[in-house]
């Protein structure tokens, strides 16, 4: 299972990258860091700088078909930057168009709002995104983890770093189901 982790060059919440990354590796999968620019990504521990992580692929040079699933880590700045990048938004939409699974945590659904893929879907997120999700045609719920299956798509969402154990277990299971059906 090859999984894309999409993020901007800076602003990702480090634990929302590292815990899901380890979950993919623990399931025998191959995580790939995809960004809008080559080089490295600067992660954060809330507002303080964390570690940097090397970029494996630039979003303009890959497609959803190169992967089995997509993980969108949060952080406030990361999804806000991604939603302003046309190639990143198109990459996210491509996963939905291809019927491939997507997982998003915390503020990451902002990128899903911009990709216009939330109509008739129920998801969770950081509470401040509630109105944005509703305005994009989705339904927002306050749950630790939410799985929404809509047609060929599976969307797994969670609210915050405290939800990471449930988020990781759930998206790894759902991505595995999708890979088995492919």
Active site residues: 107
Closest CA to 52 of 37, 63, 72: 37
Q: Could you tell me the end-to-end alpha-carbon distance of the chain, in angstroms, rounded to an integer?
A: 11
CA–CA gap between residue 1 and residue 24 (Å, rounded): 8
């Amino acid at each position: 299972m090859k999984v894309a982790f999409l993020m901007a060059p800076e602003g990702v919440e480090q634990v929302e990258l590292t815990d899901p990354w380890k979950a993919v590796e623990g399931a025998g999968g191959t995580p790939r860091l995809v960004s809008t620019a080559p080089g490295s990504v600067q992660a954060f521990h809330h507002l303080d700088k964390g570690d940097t992580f090397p970029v494996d692929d630039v979003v303009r040079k890959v497609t959803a078909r190169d992967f089995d699933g997509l993980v969108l880590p949060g952080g406030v700045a990361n999804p806000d930057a991604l939603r302003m990048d046309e190639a990143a938004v198109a990459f996210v939409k491509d996963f939905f168009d291809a019927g491939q699974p997507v997982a998003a945590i915390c503020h990451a659904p902002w990128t899903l709002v911009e990709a216009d893929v939330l109509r008739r879907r129920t998801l969770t997120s950081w509470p401040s995104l509630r109105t944005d999700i509703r305005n994009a045609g989705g339904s927002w719920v306050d749950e630790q983890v939410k799985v929404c299956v809509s047609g060929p798509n599976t969307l797994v969402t969670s609210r915050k770093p405290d939800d990471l154990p449930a988020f990781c277990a759930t998206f790894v299971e759902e991505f595995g189901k999708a890979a088995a059906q492919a």
